[in-house]
Amino acid sequence: MSDQPLLDIRELQVTYWGRSGLSMRRQPFHAVKGATLTLKAGETLGLVGESGSGKSSIANAVLGLVPASAGSIRFDGVDLSAMKTHYPGEVRKQIQAVFQDPFSSLNPSMTVEDIVSEPLRVHTGMNRAERRARAAELLEMVSLSAEHLSRHPHQFSGGQRQRIAIASALALEPKLVVLDEPVSALDVSTQNQIINLLYERRDALGIAYLLIAHDLALVHHISNRIAVMYLGHIVEEGPSDRVYSAPAHPYTKALLDAVPLLDPEKQRLRRAARKRAPPNETPRDVSSGCPYKNRCRWAMARCHSEAPPMFAVEGGGAASCFLLTDPGNTANNDKLKESATQ
């Protein structure tokens, strides 16, 4: 158990076949193009990227909702990718999920008791009374109470619904919970309540989280490691603090820089330093070279012909950028750091 990761994703690819318009031919869309990630038991891996980066596809592949088209996913030593989307019960009960939209993730026709105890019903031999007792216990664990058991989801606010979803996900005390944008549909004051709850539960139960989010700052709060995705590729990965404070990939830096600061003065300075570039038009598919080359201000000739592999980064982790290999590596890194602090 010691050093073997709980979740081991290697060269994962996820491809969707969709029709565009009325076209009869199905066209492939490569959502994930070779992602390698590991997650240790009891730790949190934050997976960050903008819409369309493929982060949710990784979540869906781990959950067995979409099949992997290439590569492997190993969970606790078991090869999940070989099972396509048909996980046996022992695996299923170890991997649970909380999804983004608390309004559509709870079945409107079921009561809270049904929702929270559904996993118990599927995977355990508990009788009705036992399930009910456990459901009440779970609700109290997420700061709701047993009196909510007989209510329907529409009687709850967004934050409360997300608590119910968390209670259901934790019912079987899984080893891994995939959190797909768990707070992005919530109000600011409710978001932190949910983050705190997730953090506290992780420490109490020793669960590992795969946390999918678009907000690096938020991910940084509770992740041990962070991976950054861009157009189906993992462009940077490393310990949370290092990625957040000393990003090595230009895209990670751009993401961090784009988040406005809560300080108008600092924000003004940053704006002044910012070069007004033409708007980025993210291509859906980049055939050769670095996926980020079209938006990168440091793009070199090499970036257009060759895809950069992952290079180790000082302070832990790796990033796929040729800046990290150049003789002038340190100078470039200084350049990156300089604008990061602005």
Partner 1 sequence: MLRLVLQRLLALVPLLFIVSVLTFSFTSLLPSDPVDLILGDNGTQEQYEMLRERLGLNEPLVSRYLDWLGKAVQGDLGSSFFNSVSVTGAVMQRLPVTLSLTAMSALIAIIVGVAAGVAAALRPQSWVDRVATIGATFGQAVPNFWFGLILVAIFAVNLRWFPAIGFTPLLESPWQWLRSVTLPSLALGLSSSAAVARQVRSAMVGVLQQDYIRAARAQGLSARRIIIRHALTNAMVPVVAIMSFQITVLLGGALIVEQVFAINGLGTLAIAAVRQQDIPMLQGLVLVMVGLVVSVQLITDILYGLLNPKARPS
Partner 2 sequence: MTARTTTHRARPRRLALPSASQVITGAAIAVLVALAFMAIFADWIVPYDPLRQNLIQSLQPPSAQHWLGTDDLGRDVLSRLIYGCRIAVLAAAEATGLAVLLGVPLGLFVGYRGGWWDWCVMRFVEAIVSIPGIMVAIVIIAILGAGLHKAMIALGILYSTSFLRLARGVVLAEREEVYVRSARVIGASDGRILLRHIFPNIAPPLIVQITLTVGAVLLAEAGLSFIGLGVQPPDASWGTMLNTAASYMDLDWFLAIPPGIAIIVTVLSVNLLGDVIRDSIGRGIAIRTEPSTPSVRFAPTARETGQSDQAIAPGPDDVLRIDGLQVVISQRGGSEVPVVTDLSLAIRKGETLGLVGESGCGKTITGLAITGLIGAGGRITHGAIRLDGADLTALGQKQMVSVRGNEVAMVFQDPITSLNPAFTVGDQIAEVLQAKKGLSRKDAWARTIELIDRVGIPRPASRANAYPHELSGGMAQRIAIARALSCNPKLLIADEPTTALDVTVQQEILDLFRDLQDEFGMAILFVTHDLAVAADICDRIAVMYAGEIVETATVDALFARPRHPYTAGLLNATPHGSDHTPPLPTIKGSVPRPGTWPAGCRFANRCEFVEERCLSRVPLAGKDTRLVRCVRADELRLETGR
Residues in region 7-46 near partner 1 by CB under 8 A = 20-24
Candidate list 4, 27, 150, 155; residue touching partner 2; CB under 8 A: 155
Q: Which is nearer to partner 2, 105 or 332 (CB)?
A: 105
Residue 65 interface partner, choices partner 1, partner 2, none, CB cut-off 5-8 Å depending on type: partner 2
Question: Among 89, 129, 272, 327, which residue interacts with partner 2 (rule: CB under 8 A)?
Answer: 89
190 belongs to the binding site for partner 2 (CB under 8 A): yes
**Among 154, 301, 327, 341, contact with partner 2 (rule: CB under 8 A):** 154
Q: Contacts with partner 2 in 38-67 (CB under 8 A)?
A: 50-51, 63-65
Provide, rounded to whole angstroms, the least separation between the CB of residue 232 and partner 1. 22
Phi then psi for residue 246, to 5 deg, are -135, 70
Of 21 and 278, the one with the shorter C-beta distance to partner 1 is 21
The listed partner (partner 1, partner 2, none) that binds 327, CB under 5 to 8 Å by sort, is: none
Partner interacting with residue 23 (select from partner 2, partner 1, none; CB below 5-8 Å by kind): partner 1
The least CB distance from residue 105 to partner 1, in Å, is 24
- When asked if residue 276 is in the footprint of partner 2 (CB under 8 A), the reply is yes
* 145: its two tokens: 């109470």
Q: Report in angstroms how near the CB of residue 128 gets to partner 2 at its nearest.
A: 15
Single out the segment in contact with partner 2 by CB under 8 A; choices: 128-136, 153-161, 301-309, 321-329: 153-161
Q: How far is the CB of 110 from partner 2 (least distance, A)?
A: 8
C-beta closer to partner 2: residue 1 or 86: 86
What is the number of other CB atoms lying within 10 angstroms of the CB of residue 277? 8
Check residue 107 for interaction with partner 2 (CB under 8 A).
yes
Residue nearer to partner 2 on the CB measure, 2 or 109: 109
Closest approach of partner 2 to the CB of residue 267, in Å: 5
Q: For partner 1, which is the closer residue by CB, 21 or 88?
A: 21
Q: For residue 157, state whether it binds partner 2 (rule: CB under 8 A).
A: yes
**Residue 256 CB, nearest approach to partner 2 (Å):** 9
Q: Is 145 in the site for partner 2 (CB under 8 A)?
A: no
Question: Which contacts qualify for 319-323: CB closer than 8 Å, 24 or more apart?
Answer: 319/235, 319/236, 319/237, 319/238, 319/248, 319/249, 319/252, 320/233, 320/234, 320/235, 320/236, 320/249, 320/290, 321/235, 321/236, 321/248, 321/249, 321/250, 321/290, 322/290, 323/250, 323/298
Q: How far is the CB of 104 from partner 2 (least distance, A)?
A: 5
Question: Please, what is the minimum distance in Å from the beta carbon of residue 23 to partner 1?
Answer: 6
Beta strands 95-98; 176-180: pairing state: parallel
Residues 196-225 that bind partner 2 (CB under 8 A): 196, 199-200, 214-215, 217-218, 220-222
Q: How many residues bind partner 2 (CB under 8 A)?
A: 75
The residues binding partner 1 (CB under 8 A) are: 20-24
